[in-house]
Amino acid sequence: MTNGANDVLNVAINGSIARLTITRPEKRNAVSDTLMAALEAFFANPPEGVRVVILAGEGGHFSAGLDLAEHVARNAAETMRHSRNWHRIMDMIQFGGLPVISLLKGAVIGGGLELASATHIRIADETTFFQLPEGRRGIFVGGGASVRVGRILGADRMIEMMLTGRKYNAEDGLRLGLTHYVCDSPDEAEAKAIELANTVAENAQLSNYVMIQALSRIEDMAKTDGLFTESLCAALTQTSEDAQEGLKAFLEKRPPNFK
């Protein structure tokens, strides 16, 4: 295992799995520009050999959202550019090509929920709760929640959530799609994240990449455009060496050995 660290994000690599841990427990892992820059640095140039990322928070919380203590006064143009920069970094997480598993616990609020919703698999323990309190603070989401969380919840439910500051617990989150798995304890959630990371890392890298790149974009497309894009993705993956290995492994009743 190799480690790299800075003041806000610890990176630990174990084989093909990278674990990124937000290290601001005294701030309940609040999201700051420094943290976003650290995430950008990793996803812009991930270490060679990494196939899956686990994103977690140190201490009892995943992330309590925007660090309001670091909030600075900006005019409208500066605020828009700041928001767009966060969008760019969230897109790097969602569309960078590496499957990302978020390990959720405690507060998953505001910007923390925006960060979680940019990941591909979300695992929560029973302490997890979700909230978008921006409406109670006189502001609006700016890190992509209106698109990513809105697509999970639907506009109607997200409006109510923001207007009232309503909290959803882990089971609510599972029912609504904010998380994919709920575990009884942090240890069980940790074990589940490692199990799924190993499973995903064994997939063909090309098919993982295509699934990450294509499916969310197909959702944006008209039906006929989506079906055409699907055929291109099928052609790309099904004519690859990995597809040949997958079929051969199936016929030989053995696990595939993807490159």
Which residues does the annotation mark as catalytic? 114, 134
CB atoms within 10 A of CB 204: 18
> CA nearest 63: which of 87, 34, 89, 32?
32
Cα separation, 75 vs 65, whole angstroms: 21
Cα separation, 174 vs 169, whole angstroms: 9
Token reading at 188: 């069980």
The structure tokens 């919703």 sit at 117
**Residues β-bridged to residue 17:** 14, 52
| Four-CA torsion 121, 123, 128, 130, nearest 10 degrees | 10
- Beta strand spans in the chain (E): 2-5, 9-14, 17-22, 52-57, 100-104, 107-109, 121-125, 129-131, 167-169, 181-183
Token reading at 82: 């700041």
Cα separation, 93 vs 194, whole angstroms: 19
